[in-house]
Amino acid sequence: MCDCIFCKIVAGNIPSMKVYEDEETIAFMDIAKDVDGHIVVIPKKHCKNVLDCELDTLYAVMKTVKNVSLHLTEKCGYDGVNLLNASDESAGQSVPHFHIHIIPRQQNDEIDAWPKFNGARNDIGCTFEKIRM
């Protein structure tokens, strides 16, 4: 068994408040107590992040993200959602198991879920030439 906290949730060794579960994914309440309704969606199959996640696993996670997000907006009184992901430690990933945070939103909820950036350092054209596929 994998020694990560999310794998332990999948195995049932750590309790969680499951919002949704299917054969490939679990959605559960985040225990951070930072935003009402904060949910984490993970694949049951361990992968570190989106960079090493197989496409079928990624699809399953995103399908669950959409289903849970629709439930929040159609049945629970929320207007929209923020989806948050950090892939790799350099991006701020703290749990090395691929996951997507769903932050339910309501008009004028005063939640600022968008990161503050200091501004680009390089010319956009130079960056474009570097990263285009």
Q: Is the pLDDT of residue 109 over 60?
A: yes
User: pLDDT band for position 115 (50/70/90)?
Assistant: confident
Known catalytic residues?
99
The pTM score is 0.94
Please spell the DSSP secondary structure of 71-119, one letter per residue. Answer: HHHHHS---EEEEE---SGGGT--SSS--EEEEEE-TT-----SPP---
User: pLDDT band for position 70 (50/70/90)?
Assistant: very high
pLDDT at position 73: 98
